[in-house]
Amino acid sequence: MTYEPEPTPPVPELLGTDTFGRPVYGHPLPPAQRPQAPVYAPQVPAPARRAAGLSTGRVAALAGAAVAASLALAVSLLAIAVSVVALTVCVLVLRSVWRDVQRGR
């Protein structure tokens, strides 16, 4: 087994300084050996497809409308029930008063 030192990477060439005084180096490899950036084809966006069923927003709107309608129905049925009870009490009281008037009290 012989010891082989690792090859030293090429040293970039000092080209000069930029306007702020920082050193500017050239690429360490000759142009033929420089790695090339991969070339990708431009991505074409897929055509927008609409969902066949209901969207989430429509489902939420329908659910909200159903809840509102059921609450409105419950309130109106409660109002009708209170009115029926009040009318029944009123009729019973008036009937009692009418009987008392007819008996001459």
pLDDT tier at 11, thresholds 50, 70, 90: confident
What does each C-alpha distance from 84 to 26, 79, 87, 97 come to in angstroms?
96, 9, 5, 20
- How many alpha carbons lie under 13 Å from residue 62 in its C-beta half-sphere? 6
**Tens digit of each residue's pLDDT (9 = 90 or more) over 45-63:** 888 777 667 788 888 999 9
Residue matched to tokens 């970039």: 12
Return the closest-CA partner of residue 25 out of 9, 6, 5.
9
Q: Give a three-class secondary structure readout of 45-71.
A: CCCCCCCCCCCHHHHHHHHHHHHHHHH
Q: Which two tokens stand for residue 63?
A: 């659910």
pLDDT tier at 105, thresholds 50, 70, 90: low
Is the whole model's pTM more than 0.75, yes or no?
no
CA 26 to chain centroid: 49
With a cut of 90, say whether residue 69 has pLDDT above it. Answer: yes
